[in-house]
C-alpha cells in the first residue's frame, strides 16, 4: 500500500533536495472535487500522485509528475454514477509573486503560486485534478429507462444540445432523450 502524502511541504526545500514524493491522498479531503461526485460514491477512494521537485533547464523550480484517480462522478445528464479515470500530467513552475508568474507564463509555463513557502498538497493535487476533468462529464449513452431523466431541468438539456462538438452531435443521435426533446418542441 502506498504511503499517505504529507499535508503540507516546503516545495522550495524539496526542489533543493530534488525530492520525489509518491503516495496517496483521500478524495474526501477535496471539497471542490466532492461536489462533482455522485451520491453513492466510495468514501474510501483515493488519489495517487507522484511528484518530482526539481529545476527546469533554465533553473526555475518546478514540479513534474502524474496524478491519477478513479472517480465516481455524477453524470451531468442523468445524475447517476459515472466511473471516470482521470490522469493528469503535472508540469508546473513554482512561483512566489505575480511578477514571477507572469514571466514564467510568458515563456509558456503553467505556474503555481506558493505563499510563505508552504504548499498544501491536497489543494495542489485537487487543483490539478479539476483542471484535467471535462467541463461536463456524461455517460456516452445514459440508460433511457431511468424514470428521473424526465426531471432534468430543461435549460440543462438545451445547453447540451446546443453544444456542437462531435461528441454532442453523436449523443444527440444516439440519445433517445434528445428525440424526446424534439417531440416536445413539436407540441
Ligand atoms: Zn448518464
Grid cell in block for residue 163 = 453544444
Please state the φ and ψ torsions of residue 84, each to the nearest 5 degrees: -140, 125
Grid cell in block for residue 104 = 514564467
Q: What is the pLDDT of residue 149?
A: 46
Q: What is the pLDDT of residue 159?
A: 52
Q: What is the pLDDT of residue 44?
A: 94
The residues placing their C-beta within 5 Å of ligand 1, an ion, are 75, 77-78, 139, 142
Grid cell in block for residue 78 = 442523468
The residue extents of the domains of the chain are 8-132, 147-186
Largest CA distance in the chain: 68
The strand pair at 81-95 and 110-113 is best described as parallel
CA of 132 to the centre of ligand 1 (A): 20
Reported pTM: 0.74
CA of 35 to the centre of ligand 1 (A): 17
Spans in the chain with pLDDT lower than 70 = 1, 144-187
Amino acid at each position: 500500500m502506498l504511503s499517505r502524502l504529507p499535508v503540507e511541504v516546503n516545495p522550495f526545500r524539496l526542489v533543493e533536495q530534488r525530492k520525489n514524493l509518491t503516495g496517496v491522498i483521500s478524495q474526501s479531503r477535496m471539497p471542490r472535487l466532492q461536489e462533482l461526485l455522485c451520491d453513492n460514491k466510495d468514501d474510501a477512494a483515493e488519489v495517487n500522485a507522484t511528484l518530482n521537485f526539481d529545476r527546469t533547464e533554465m533553473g526555475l523550480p518546478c514540479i513534474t509528475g502524474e496524478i491519477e484517480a478513479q472517480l465516481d462522478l455524477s453524470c451531468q445528464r442523468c445524475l447517476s454514477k459515472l466511473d471516470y479515470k482521470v490522469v493528469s500530467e503535472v508540469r508546473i513552475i513554482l512561483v512566489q509573486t505575480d511578477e514571477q508568474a507572469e514571466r514564467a507564463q510568458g515563456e509558456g509555463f503553467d505556474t503555481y503560486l506558493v505563499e510563505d513557502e508552504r504548499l498544501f498538497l491536497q489543494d495542489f493535487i485537487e487543483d490539478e485534478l479539476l483542471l484535467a476533468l471535462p467541463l461536463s462529464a456524461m455517460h456516452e449513452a445514459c440508460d433511457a429507462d431511468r424514470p428521473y431523466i424526465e426531471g432534468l431541468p430543461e435549460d440543462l438539456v438545451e445547453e447540451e444540445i446546443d453544444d456542437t462538438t462531435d461528441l454532442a452531435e453523436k449523443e444527440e443521435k444516439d440519445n433517445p432523450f434528445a428525440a424526446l426533446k424534439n417531440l416536445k418542441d413539436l407540441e
